[in-house]
Amino acid sequence: MRRPAPSPRAARSPEVREAINALRRIVQALRAGHAGLRRAGLSSAQLFALAQIAEHPGASINDVAALTFTHQSSVSVIIRRLVRRGFVMRAAALDDRRRQRLDVTAKGRQALRRTPVAVQRQLIAAIAALPAADRRALARSLGSVARRVALDAAGPYPPMFFEGPAGRGRVR
């Protein structure tokens, strides 16, 4: 479905320029953080999940999903990769053997010491610091923009930043 073009006046408004520039700065920061981590052998999503597990030892996949504001299915792909690479270990929880607890390994702690803070953490903190009314307005507005440019094509559960649909860590 083809969307109508904005009116010339609306397209030139200072608010549109300001919003586009803000989005560019955010994407640029996310990309820069991602590029540096790739050299270290981690995607930004992996670093973000690893840091959350380090701060919340014994967290479950559902806990990490909540902490990263990401759907459980997306987080489980990232956790599986971190476990396979030796950054995280899984163990059955003592209180409920059906629940898997996650812990950072020595290799994971070493990686965290060598890497910068995940940009996603700064983004979440910046949004969380907004007054509640501003957070609601931002969520509504960004949701509307995403729907208009078909950014929600990934489905109802988009992957974490810079994690491809199959969790391959590709920059999209």
43: CATH: 1.10.10.10
In this predicted model, what pLDDT tens digit does every residue of 40-84 receive, in sequence order?
678 888 888 999 999 999 999 999 999 998 889 889 999 999 999
Does the model's pTM come out above 0.85?
Answer: no
In the chain, how many domains are there?
A: 1
Domain housing 48: 14-154
How confident is the model at residue 94, as a pLDDT?
A: 78
Confirm whether 115 is domain-assigned: yes
- Better-predicted residue by pLDDT, 87 or 114: 87
Confirm whether 2 is domain-assigned: no
Confirm whether 160 is domain-assigned: no
Confirm whether 9 is domain-assigned: no
Q: What gap in Å lies between CA 4 and CA 163, rounded to an integer?
A: 31
Confirm whether 147 is domain-assigned: yes
Confirm whether 21 is domain-assigned: yes
**Count of alpha carbons within 13 angstroms of residue 43, beta-carbon side:** 22
- Better-predicted residue by pLDDT, 50 or 122: 50
- Model confidence at 99, in pLDDT bands (50, 70, 90)? confident
- Model confidence at 172, in pLDDT bands (50, 70, 90)? very low
- Model confidence at 19, in pLDDT bands (50, 70, 90)? confident
Confirm whether 4 is domain-assigned: no
Q: Which of 80-84, 87-91, 160-164 has the lowest mean pLDDT?
A: 160-164
Confirm whether 3 is domain-assigned: no
Mean pLDDT of 118-142: 89
